[in-house]
Structure 1
Amino acid sequence: MFGDIPVEISPMYEGERIRAANMFVELGGPKSIGAELVLVSESVEDGKITVVGPEIKDMEEGKIYPLGILLEVSGKQLEKDLEGVIERRIHEICNYVQGFMHLNQRDKIWCRVSKDSHKKGFGLNHLGKAISIMFKDEFPIIEEIAVTIMTEEEKVKEFVEKAKLEYEKRDSKARDLSEEDVDSFYGCVMCQSFAPTHVCVITPDRPALCGGINWFDCRAAAKIDPEGPIFEIPKGELLDSVTGEYTSLNNTVAENSQHTFNKVYLHSIFGHPHTSCGCFEAVAFYMPELDGIGVVHRDFKGDTPLGIPFSAMAGQCSGGKQVEGFSGLCVEYMRSPKFLKADGGYERIVWLPKEIKEKILENIPKELHEKIATEEDVSSIHHLKKFLSEKNHPVIKRISELESTEKEPETVFEEEKESNSEMVQFAQVPEMAIPTSGGIKIILKNAKIYAEKVIITKK
Structure 2
Amino acid sequence: MAEFPFEISPMFEGERVRKDGMFVELGGPKSMGLELVRAKDMDEIEDDKVTIVGPDLKEMEEGKTYPWAMIFHIGGELVEPDLESVVERRVHDFVNYCQGIMHLNQRYDVWMRMSKDTAAKMDSFEPFGKAVMMLFKTELPFIEKMQVTFYTDEAEVEKQMVEAKEIFKARDARTKDLHDEDVDVFYGCTLCQAFAPTNVCVVSPDRISLCGAINWFDGRAAAKVDPEGPQFAIEKGEVLDDNTGEYSGVNEIAKKLSSGEFDKIKLHSFFDSPHTSCGCFKVVGFYIPEVDGIGWVNREYQGMAPNGLGFSTMAGQTGGRKQIVGFSSVLGVNYFYSTPSSSRRDGGWNRVVWLPAMLKEKIAETIPEDIKDKIATENDATDIESLKTFLQEKNHPVVANWAAAEEEEEEEEEEEEEETAVAAAPMMMPAAGFQMPAMASMPMMPAGKAGGIKITFKNAKISIDKMIVSEKKE
How does the TM-score come out when normalised to structure 1? 0.90
**2: CA distance, partners of 1:75 / 1:135:** 13
Match of 1:369 in 2: 372
**Offset at residue 417 of structure 1 (A):** 4.7
Match of 1:386 in 2: 389
**Residue 217 of structure 1: SS of its match in structure 2?**
helix
> Which 10-residue stretch deviates more, 375-384 or 208-217?
375-384
**Residue 344 of structure 1: SS of its match in structure 2?**
helix
Contact (CA 8 Å) 1:277, 1:328: kept in 2 or not? no
**Offset at residue 334 of structure 1 (A):** 1.6
**Residue 63 of structure 2: SS of its match in structure 1?**
coil
Contact (CA 8 Å) 1:268, 1:340: kept in 2 or not? no
Whichever residue aligns with residue 459 of structure 2, its letter is M
- The share of aligned pairs that are identical, in percent, is 50
CA change 1:99–1:362 in 2 (3 A) is same
**2: CA distance, partners of 1:325 / 1:299:** 21
Match of 1:142 in 2: 143
How do 1:60-71 residues align onto structure 2 when only pairs under 5 Å count? 60-71=61-72
**Offset at residue 427 of structure 1 (A):** 4.9
CA change 1:411–1:123 in 2 (3 A) is farther
Match of 1:92 in 2: 93
**Offset at residue 131 of structure 1 (A):** 1.6
Structure 2: 5+ residue runs without aligned partners? 424-449, 470-474
How do 1:141-160 residues align onto structure 2 when only pairs under 5 Å count? 141-160=142-161
> Over the residues paired in the alignment, what is the CA RMSD in angstroms?
2.4
Match of 2:402 in 1: 399
Match of 2:325 in 1: 324
Match of 2:437 in 1: none
Q: Which has the higher strand share?
A: 1
Match of 1:286 in 2: 287
**1: CA distance, partners of 2:374 / 2:451:** 43
Whichever residue aligns with residue 369 of structure 1, its letter is K
**Offset at residue 339 of structure 1 (A):** 2.8
How do 1:258-337 residues align onto structure 2 when only pairs under 5 Å count? 258-331=259-332, 332-337=334-339
Which of these residues, 459, 468, 474, is aligned with residue 432 of structure 1? 459
**Residue 79 of structure 2: SS of its match in structure 1?**
coil
**1: CA distance, partners of 2:394 / 2:468:** 40
How do 1:144-223 residues align onto structure 2 when only pairs under 5 Å count? 144-223=145-224
Whichever residue aligns with residue 315 of structure 1, its letter is G
> Which 10-residue stretch deviates more, 403-412 or 224-233?
403-412
Whichever residue aligns with residue 365 of structure 1, its letter is P
**1: CA distance, partners of 2:249 / 2:212:** 23
Contact (CA 8 Å) 1:373, 1:387: kept in 2 or not? yes
Whichever residue aligns with residue 379 of structure 2, its letter is E
**Offset at residue 432 of structure 1 (A):** 2.1
Match of 1:131 in 2: 132
Match of 2:226 in 1: 225
Structure 1: 5+ residue runs without aligned partners? 437-450, 454-459
Whichever residue aligns with residue 181 of structure 2, its letter is E
Whichever residue aligns with residue 139 of structure 1, its letter is L
Match of 2:351 in 1: 348
Contact (CA 8 Å) 1:294, 1:349: kept in 2 or not? yes
Number of equivalenced pairs:
436
**Residue 106 of structure 1: SS of its match in structure 2?**
coil
Cα deviation, 1:80-106, whole Å, max 9, x if unaligned, reads: 111111111111111101111110110
Contact (CA 8 Å) 1:199, 1:253: kept in 2 or not? yes
How does the TM-score come out when normalised to structure 2? 0.87
Cα deviation, 1:291-335, whole Å, max 9, x if unaligned, reads: 111111111111111112111111101110111111211121121
Match of 1:105 in 2: 106
**Offset at residue 412 of structure 1 (A):** 5.3
CA change 1:424–1:285 in 2 (3 A) is farther
**Offset at residue 420 of structure 1 (A):** 7.4
CA change 1:321–1:123 in 2 (3 A) is farther
Structure 1 ranges of 4+ moved more than 6 A:
418-424
**Residue 6 of structure 2: SS of its match in structure 1?**
coil
**Residue 199 of structure 2: SS of its match in structure 1?**
coil
**1: CA distance, partners of 2:403 / 2:166:** 44
**Residue 266 of structure 1: SS of its match in structure 2?**
coil
Whichever residue aligns with residue 33 of structure 1, its letter is M
**1: CA distance, partners of 2:277 / 2:269:** 13
Q: Which has the larger radius of gyration?
A: 2
Cα deviation, 1:388-440, whole Å, max 9, x if unaligned, reads: 11111111112232123222355859xx95997999858555x425499xxxx
**Residue 176 of structure 1: SS of its match in structure 2?**
coil
CA change 1:329–1:418 in 2 (3 A) is closer
**Residue 206 of structure 1: SS of its match in structure 2?**
coil
**2: CA distance, partners of 1:435 / 1:170:** 43
> Which 10-residue stretch deviates more, 331-340 or 359-368?
331-340
**2: CA distance, partners of 1:407 / 1:419:** 16
Whichever residue aligns with residue 12 of structure 2, its letter is Y
Q: Is 2:363 aligned against 1:360?
A: yes
**Offset at residue 368 of structure 1 (A):** 1.5
**Residue 248 of structure 1: SS of its match in structure 2?**
helix
**Offset at residue 228 of structure 1 (A):** 1.0
Cα deviation, 1:210-258, whole Å, max 9, x if unaligned, reads: 1111000000000111111111000101101111111111110110001
